[in-house]
Structure 1
Amino acid sequence: MTILGSVAALFLKKASSFQNLRELLCNRNLYIGGVLYLAAALLNIYILRFLDYSVVLPLTSITYIWTMILSYLILKEKITAKKIIGTVGILIGALLITL
């Protein structure tokens, strides 16, 4: 679910380089991102059938970690010390919630 959300955001980022509304509406990245977000949402609903909301929602913060990794690998964005500290904080929080 979290990986799907992160990949969906990547496609929407790629779709954001439009010049006008018509170009955006013809951009396949917009639709790929939308379908992936929908798939992530449906998976989230399914997961909520089996796990507590108070566990699932905080674990969605793992999406930020995937997003940082994808932005580094695909968009060539820099990973700073602040981003690493934030990522460690997210991992610790996710671990504490699941215990």
Structure 2
Amino acid sequence: MEKSTMTQQTEEVLDLINGTFDSEDAKEILRNLFEYKINYHKLRNFNSQIRFGEQDDHSLERALELKQALGQMIEFFGKEQSKAYKITAKVVIEPIAD
């Protein structure tokens, strides 16, 4: 059995988004990513409240940061008049030593 690329490297870089999009598609793609992450943290907080009887402060803080970033993104597209945007988003995965 061969080792996967992930286990041979100390870091893995993946393209999440890499392309040129018209204004509406660019806004929709980014809005969906932000909303997905916001909902993830809301659900994580809800689960913490149900399971442990306490809120997940990290998730609440992160959801707030993401909502602010979403607002900035919406504001950006409200001001810009370009017909197309190049969007690049990379994901870096790094193992953390125990």
Q: TM-score range by the shorter chain?
A: 0.3 to 0.5
Rg: which structure is higher?
Answer: 2
Relative to total residues, which structure has the larger helix share, 1 or 2?
A: 1
- TM-score normalised by structure 1 residue count: 0.41
- TM-score normalised by structure 2 residue count: 0.42
Relative to total residues, which structure has the larger strand share, 1 or 2?
A: 2
